[in-house]
Structure 1
Amino acid sequence: MSFKQRFDLPGDVAVVTGGGRSIGYQTALALGEAGAHVVIIEPRAEMGEEAVKDLTARGYKAELFEGDVTDSARMTAIADELAARGTPATILINNAGIGDSGTSSEDVSDDLWLKIMNVNVNGVFWCSRAFGAHMVKAGKGSIVNLGSMSGTIANRPQPQTPYNVSKAAVHHMTRSMAAEWAQHKVRVNAVAPTYIETPMVSANPANLERLPIWLNDTPMGRMGQADEVAAAILFLASDAASLITGAVLPVDGGFTCW
C-alpha cells in the first residue's frame, strides 16, 4: 500500500454526528472525498439534508439519519440498522457538541451544567458504545472524538468551567476506550482544536473583545479553520494512523505550547 493509499477509505462507512455544518460538514466532505460512504446524524433534518445534497452533488455517497446524540436508544437503533443491512459503521466521528462561555462557576446553573455534559460527554459515550459494539464484533474500526484544547488548559479571559470539564472528560474517555478496545483492533483518538473561525463564533459580540487575547496566546497568531480540523480527523480515521490510538492530537496553532 502506498502512502497516499493509506488515506483512502473505499468500502468504509463513516458516521459523522453533527455533520450538517462547520467542522462536522468539512469532516464529512473529507471522508467522502477519500471514498467513504458518509452517514450524517443531525437533530435538525433540514441542515442534514442540505449537507447530504451537497455531498451527493459532488459524487460522494452520503445519507442522513435524523437523531440527537443525547438519545441513547436512537443512537443504538441507527447503529443496529446500519449493521442489519450489511453496512456497519467502520468509522465514527463524534463531532456533535455544544459550547458555552462567559458564566462564572458560582453562577453556573444545574440546567446549564447538565445540558453541556449531556451533549458533550454522554452523547460521545452513547455513540461510541452503540457503534463501537459493532466495531468490536467485526474486529475493525476507528473512532475520532472532538475534544478541545480547553480539555487541557483553562481559557482566558472568558470563564467556561463546564465546557472545559466536558472536553477533559472526552480526552480521558478517548484514552480509556483506546486501551480497552485495542485488542479488538478498534482505534480511538481525539483532536483538540483551538478557537475555530465559524459563523457562530464570529456572531458573538463578546468574542470581538476576547479575540486579541486569544491571538496573543497563540504562537501562530490566528484562529483555525474548520477544514484544518477535518484534515486532522481524516488522518486519524484512516490507515495513515494505523499505529495511533489513545492520542489527543492538538490542532491549536501552538496554543498549548505556552
Structure 2
Amino acid sequence: MSDMRLIVAGAGGRMGRALTRAISDTKGVVLAGALEAPGSELLGKDAGVLAGLPENGVKLCADLWALSAKADGIIDFTVPAATIANVAIAAQRGIVHVIGTTGLTASDNAVIHSVTKQAVVVKSGNMSLGVNLLAAITKRVAQSLDDSFDIEIVEMHHRAKIDAPSGTALLLGDAAAAGRGIELDQHSARGRDGVTGARRTGDIGFAALRGGTVTGDHSVIFAGPYERIELSHKAEDRMIFAHGALKAARWAHGKSPGLYSMMDVLGLSDI
C-alpha cells in the first residue's frame, strides 16, 4: 500500500510543527501539504525547517483546495473558525479529516456532523492513548459509584491556551456523564466564585488552571464519604498527540463515511 499523503493544518504553530516532525519519522505517511492562515508571515516558509528538520520542500500555503487535490487526509489542530472552513473543503475532496481542535461550539459540532454522511471525520478532544484509556476508566468508575461520590475534573495547561475547560477535560466529563447516564450540559458546574451555596448533587465540576509551559495535566476526582479516588494523566510532550493523530488518520483511511472518535480508533468504544 502506498504512503498516506497528509496535510498539516496550522503547520506554523506548535502542534503543527510537532505533526511535521511526527510524519517525518513515521512509516506509511508523507507530508503532502502545509496549511497556514491567510496573511500569516510564515507563508512560503519551508515546513521542515520550521519544525527543526532539514528542508523538505513543502512550503506553507493558505489554499487548502489546491493542497487537497493530491492528498488523502488533513490533520487539524487549529482554531474553530479555521477548522469549520476546512471541514467543507475536506468533505468536497473526500479526504480524511482528523480534528483535534478544541473550543468548538454546539453549532460548530453540528456543521462537522453534517458532512459525515459523505466524509470520514475522526474528532477527539485528545488524541493520546493514555487520555483515552483514562476516559474509558472514568466511564467505568462513574458507572460503579452512585452520586454520593462527587465528580470533579481539574486540568492545567500552559499560559497561552485560549479555551477552558480544555477539550480533554470535556472529553473526561462526557465519559463521566455517560457512566452516570446523564447529560453533561445539564450537570456541569464551572467557574465557582463568591457565595455559591452547597454543591448540587450529581453535578460534574470543572477547574481550569493556566501557567508556565505545562503541556497538559488532567485529574478526575471521585470524592465520596470519607474516601477519594483520583485518576490522573500528565502529558510531557505534545508529540503524544501528534502520533495519536497519525494513528487516527491511518486507521480512518478507507473507512466508510461517518463521525469517529479515538475510542473507535483504539477499540475502546464498547467500554
TM-score of the superposed pair, with normalisation by structure 1: 0.52
What SS does the corresponding residue of 1:236 show, helix, strand or coil?
Answer: helix
Name the CA shift for 1:248/1:11 in 2 (closer, same or farther; >3 Å): closer
| Structure 1 Cα separation of the partners of residues 99 and 211 of structure 2 | 28
| Structure 2 Cα separation of the partners of residues 196 and 61 of structure 1 | 37
1:41 aligns with 2:35: yes
Q: Supply the AA of the counterpart residue of 1:93.
A: I
Name the CA shift for 1:29/1:197 in 2 (closer, same or farther; >3 Å): farther
- Larger gyration radius, structure 1 or structure 2: 2
Q: Supply the AA of the counterpart residue of 1:30.
A: A
Q: 1:133 aligns with which of 52, 67, 92?
A: 92
Q: 1:92 aligns with which of 64, 74, 84?
A: 74
1:237 aligns with 2:237: no
| Structure 2 Cα separation of the partners of residues 196 and 216 of structure 1 | 9
* CA deviations over 1:193-246 (Å, ceiling 9, x no partner): 286855724xxxx6249x9xx644372242463111111210111146654841
Q: Supply the AA of the counterpart residue of 2:220.
A: D
Mind listing any 5+ residue stretches in structure 2 that lack a counterpart?
Answer: 132-154, 162-208, 222-230, 264-271
Report if aligned partners of 1:190, 1:247 keep a CA contact under 8 Å in 2. Answer: yes
What SS does the corresponding residue of 1:220 show, helix, strand or coil?
Answer: strand
Q: 1:187 aligns with which of 111, 120, 123?
A: 120
* CA deviations over 1:131-179 (Å, ceiling 9, x no partner): 33122xxxxx21111244xxxxxxxxxxxxxx4xx2544444444322x
Q: What is the aligned-residue identity percentage?
A: 12
| Structure 1 Cα separation of the partners of residues 85 and 238 of structure 2 | 25
Pairwise mapping of residues 1-258 of structure 1 onto structure 2 (< 5 A)?
A: 10=3, 12=5, 14-34=6-26, 35-43=29-37, 44-46=40-42, 49=45, 51-54=47-50, 57-58=53-54, 60=56, 62-65=58-61, 67=62, 78-82=63-67, 87-97=69-79, 120=80, 122-135=81-94, 141-148=95-102, 163=103, 166-178=104-116, 180-181=117-118, 186-193=119-126, 198=158, 200-201=160-161, 207-208=210-211, 215-217=218-220, 219-223=231-235, 225-239=237-251, 242-243=254-255, 245-249=258-262
TM-score of the superposed pair, with normalisation by structure 2: 0.50
| Structure 2 Cα separation of the partners of residues 249 and 126 of structure 1 | 22
Tell me which protein shows more helix as a share of its residues. 1
Q: Supply the AA of the counterpart residue of 1:26.
A: A
| Structure 2 Cα separation of the partners of residues 231 and 196 of structure 1 | 22
Mind listing any 5+ residue stretches in structure 1 that lack a counterpart?
Answer: 2-8, 68-77, 98-119, 136-140, 149-162, 251-258
Report if aligned partners of 1:19, 1:48 keep a CA contact under 8 Å in 2. Answer: no
| Structure 2 Cα separation of the partners of residues 196 and 10 of structure 1 | 37
Name the CA shift for 1:131/1:175 in 2 (closer, same or farther; >3 Å): closer
* CA deviations over 1:45-86 (Å, ceiling 9, x no partner): 338726432459447552211x3xxxxxxxxxx244346xxx
Report if aligned partners of 1:144, 1:190 keep a CA contact under 8 Å in 2. Answer: yes
Tell me which protein shows more strand as a share of its residues. 2
Name the CA shift for 1:196/1:95 in 2 (closer, same or farther; >3 Å): farther
**RMSD over aligned Cα atoms:** 3.8
Q: How many residues align?
A: 173
